[in-house]
Every structure is written in C-alpha cells, then in structure tokens.
Amino acid sequence: MSNVPAGWYPNPDDPTQVRYWDGAQWTLSTAPAVTPAPAAAAETMVLPTTGNATFAPPPAPAFEAQPAALAPARPSSSKKWLIGGAIAAGVIVVGSVGAAIGSGNRTDAAPEASTAPVISTPSAEPVVEEPSATPTPTPQPVVVEVVDTVAFRAQAGSHLDDMQKDLDDIVTTVNEDGFWRLLSNSGELAFNLGQLEALDVPANVAETWPAALTGLETSLDALTDAISTQDGPTIIAAVDAVRGQVESSRGVVGTAQ
C-alpha cells in the first residue's frame, strides 16, 4: 500500500502535466504543470509508476500553488445551495404554470341559492271592470219580397200540365203491358214535383200551396208502390188519385194574387 497522500503530482506519462493521485491510484484528471517555487527539500515519497519508472514527487509547497480548479470536481456547499435553489425555483415555475392551466379549464362554481325566506307581498285586489251596456240593436226594416204572381201561375200550370201528360202515358203503358216504361214515367212525375216545390209563392197562397204539394207527394208515393206490383187495375186506380191531387193544386194556383 502506498503512503503517498492524495494530491497533484507530475504525470509519469507527460512531464508537462500534473496528474491527480487519490491516495491509492492515479486518476484520469490531468492539468498543465506550473513552475514550482524554491523550497526546502522534502521527504522523498515513492509513487507507483504507470509502467515506465518510479518518480519522487516534488516538495509539497510546489503544488500548493495549483489552482483549485485542478482538484476533482466535487460540488462545494455553496454550489449545492445554488443547485438546490435552482431546482426549487423550477418546481415553483412548473407548479405556477400548471395552476394557471388548471384555472383556465376550471368552470366557476355556480353561486349557491339563497336560503333566505321569500316573503311574498300580497298583490292589490284585481280591478273588476263592469260590463258595458249592450247596445240596443237598431231594428232593420222588414223587406217584403214581392213575388211575381203571373210568373208563379205560368210556371206552376206548366209543371202540372206535364204531370197530366205523364199520367196519360202510364195509362197507355198499362194497356200495352209495358212495365219498364212505367218506371220512366214515375221518375218524370217526381221531377215535376220538385220543380213545383222550388217556386216562389205569393203571400196569399203561402199556406195553401204547401198543403196542396203535400197531398200531391202522398199520391205519387202510392202510385210508385202500385207500379212495383205490376198490377194493371191497381196502377190505374193510383193514377186517378194523382190526377185528383193535380187538379186540386191547379185550383190553388188560380187563387194566387
């Protein structure tokens, strides 16, 4: 085991450099050699060689003037504090950025609903509007429609004449045993009745005319039923009943004024 203390010594491989001896072996740390200052002779210490020769280190004072930067890199206490402070500052900055990002994404909480009791103020009594008086409608003058009596007589007489002709055709058809023609004659009679009911009626026959038409309609219904039996005498009797109602209606037409 070597008794040489750790320090900078002439590099056995390059006289222009010094090399660091860690007390047990040579390290890879080297530096340019400086001119040693005069000093008293020192105790010769034998250092291990690197393979070529044995070297005696110069007196210790000659290497005390070496700059501190030549020592192995070991952080001093002041550097430790600087490094620690830088790390802490970095942590603070990162934390601040994270907090800023978080606050940007955070949605503000909705304000809590008030728990104070709500006091309702009774509203004023509703104003009841009295209904306005309903205006009395102005009586409209009664318009009396004037019916053309001459036109009524002419039209009613014409439709009654057509009915008489249809009745004559029915009698002829019965005598010839032609049943299908009876159905056509019955339809024509119903058409003529509708034309009579559509006429404008003069005031003096406003009550007698509808009654005459009702009697005529009843007799026509009986004739239709008789035709469905295809019995000649029954049909002829029904025809005579209709003729009587046609003449009765003609009498009402003659009284129209």
In this prediction, residue 25 carries a pLDDT of 92
Beta-sheet pairing, 26-32 with 7-11: unpaired
7 forms bridges with which residues in the sheet? 21
Copy the structure tokens of residue 17. Answer: 């450099």
Residues (pLDDT < 70) of the chain are 1-2, 35-133, 141-145
Boundaries of every domain in the chain: 7-69, 149-254
In this prediction, residue 179 carries a pLDDT of 80
Asked if the 149-254 domain carries CATH number 1.25.40.10, the reply is no
Q: Distance between CA 213 and CA 219 in Å, rounded?
A: 10
Q: Distance between CA 74 and CA 221 in Å, rounded?
A: 138
Copy the structure tokens of residue 12. Answer: 């056995």
Task: Name the pTM for this structure.
Answer: 0.44
3-state secondary structure 199-240: CCCCHHHCCHHHHHHHHHHHHHHHHHHHHHHCCHHHHHHHHH
Ranges of beta strands (E only) in the chain are 7-11, 14-21, 26-32
